[in-house]
Amino acid sequence: MWQSFIDVAKTNPFGSPIHVAHCEPAKVLGQPINERTIAAAAATVADTGDSCEFGSRKYFMLCGLGGILSCGLTHTMVVPLDLVKCRIQVDPAKYKSVFHGFKVTLAEDGARGLAKGWAPTFFGYSMQGLCKFGLYEVFKVFYSDLLGEENSYLWRTSLYLAASASAEFFADIALSPMEAAKVRIQTQPGFASTLRAALPIIYKDEGLNGFYKGLVPLWMRQIPYTMMKFACFERTIELLYKYVVPKPRNECTKGEQLVVTFAAGYIAGVFCAIVSHPADTVVSKLNQEKGSTALDAAKKLGMAGLWKGLMPRIVMIGTLTAAQWFIYDAVKVWLRLPRPPPPEMPESLKKKLAAKAE
């Protein structure tokens, strides 16, 4: 599978839509490759100063590392807000608002109580970030090759949606066990307070199903969230450079580019929070109660209950998403990964449109 993904990456239109170059015979994953055509605004790694070639195994692995850092660190930073949000969702009578939730938590558990669930959050979302960002890059170049250069440009929003949904499917399988432990630690009174103690209890009481019973609602929450996160970000970046930023991206400093990345990430995060919030509430309720199903949890919550905790989640997810994209892009800069410009209309498509206009 990796061989085919890497091969198609070499012809990926997102690598650079400018011109075509021919490379000398080389080896990928130890297999000889005859002369191949690649999209190349930058012909070689040496010419551009990049640390690796776009679409190589090293490129995908380093993108996965960026995902680990961006998701693991940011989610761990907002654990106190996430804890209060989860408690509002599962017990709105006790935790009436964000400020009241913090007040009650501090009174009952002290400041240390606000950090409950940090370990499953860090490990779970680090694994999720690895799959989310790393596989997104893989699926994006794979699907773009299937579509071809012109269709990849015309249908780029659909491509972003399909690539992000495919990546998140696997990312949630990695996240689910840690998410189950996190929610129990944060919302079940008297439950274990550490990850090391929580995992054996869940396995003893519910077996493997205890770690994955929230997987379907997790997919329902995370896949729409991630589709919005990546598609909205990609198109927002494109629009910002086209209509807001007064100069082309290649003329912006790396600092200026990161500011644009943060702004696009925050805009995407607001939409992500709204789209995924009802399923997030169901996940919190489901993991709090043994033996319940997603449908049971949704019925108990009701329409109003499904939207409890929306405002703190908008603040949390908007900040998280912006920070994640900022960190991810900063890691790419730091590791000198290829960072292709926003997609441009292929010359062949321009000629076709010009011919039609005539």
**26 CB contacts (<8 Å, ≥6 apart)?**
33
Q: What is the pLDDT of residue 259?
A: 92
Q: What is the pLDDT of residue 158?
A: 95
- Rg (the chain; Cα; Å): 22
Cα separation, 287 vs 181, in Å, equals 8
Q: What is the pLDDT of residue 47?
A: 55
**273 CB contacts (<8 Å, ≥6 apart)?**
225, 310, 313, 314, 316, 317, 318
Q: Is the dihedral of CA 350, 351, 353, 358 positive or negative?
A: positive
**260 CB contacts (<8 Å, ≥6 apart)?**
237, 240, 241, 245, 249, 252
**Tokens matching residue 259:** 């500011």
Q: What is the pLDDT of residue 33?
A: 39
Q: What is the pLDDT of residue 22?
A: 37
Greatest alpha-carbon span in the chain: 75
Task: Report CA-CA distances (Å) from 192 to 18, 74, 328.
Answer: 56, 24, 33
Cα separation, 255 vs 330, in Å, equals 9
Mean pLDDT (10-residue bins), the chain, 358 residues: 48 40 42 37 55 92 96 91 83 85 90 90 95 96 92 93 97 94 87 90 89 88 89 93 87 90 91 79 68 70 76 81 93 90 83 80
Cα separation, 89 vs 3, in Å, equals 45
Q: What is the pLDDT of residue 286?
A: 67
